[in-house]
Chain A
């Protein structure tokens, strides 16, 4: 079946630098995407979402970019801080069925170096 995957399983960045986490998706019909952050031993935490009718959305220190042509999603974290260290998952959903679940990618571990 169709799936969501990540290019980089691990990413190490210096504190203060910007981080870019990438996600490739294969279901061209997906029209809603979410980035989640999961710290060790905790449940995923919503970071930011984007719909397929947008190509960019900004939050506090985070930006999500969507390139539907190449089916690529990215999460940019500005001025990365130690508290950003976690595993980041992208998730996709198709259609307007509110009961339908998201498909999660395998995750990228972000390590922030002092």
Chain B
């Protein structure tokens, strides 16, 4: 149990385009999902926290208009990188939490974004 998937796993796009990344909890209902960004050889940095049916809470320094998060259901959250630029190239990872798992977060496999 506690499987989290992400799609796509790899994406290459041109500068200025928008990219949508999906995060799904496959075998549990995720009341809360988290989006992280990880640069090479660095730790995970939280971007935002989203609860189903409500607006996401963004961390300081993360532009909410650039990184659109939608947590439309208890099994799906999406992150849209709008007008992507090369500096947005990174490894984006989501995690999901359900009350049945107490406080443990389970992570997706990540999505590598390369903006040319």
Chain A residues proximal to chain B, CB less than 8 Å: 32, 34, 36, 41-46, 49, 89, 93, 98-99, 101-102, 104-107
Contacts and interface: CB of A to CB of B under 8 A. Distances in A.
Nearest to A107: B43
Contacts of A49: 104
Interface of B: 2, 4, 6, 31-32, 34, 42-44, 46, 49, 51, 91, 93, 95, 97, 99, 102-110, 112
Contacts of A105: 43
A49 B106 CA distance: 12
6 contacts: A41-B112, A49-B104, A98-B103, A99-B51, A101-B46, A107-B43
Contacts of A107: 42-43
A93 B107 contact: no
Contact of A44 (B6, B46, B102, B107): B107
A104 B95 CA distance: 13
Given A89-B43, A104-B44, A99 B110 contact: no
A81 B17 CA distance: 43
Contacts of B106: 46
Residue of A43, A46, A102, A106 with highest tally of chain B CB at under 10 A: A43
Contacts of A99: 32, 49, 51
A42 B107 CA distance: 9
Contacts of B104: 34, 46, 49
Contacts of B112: 41
Nearest to B108: A43
Given A99-B32, A101-B49, A42 B110 contact: yes
Contacts of B32: 98-99
B97 A98 contact: yes
A36 B43 contact: no
Nearest to A5: B43
Contacts of B6: 43
Given A99-B32, A101-B34, A44 B43 contact: no
Residue of A99, A101, A102 with highest tally of chain B CB at under 10 A: A101
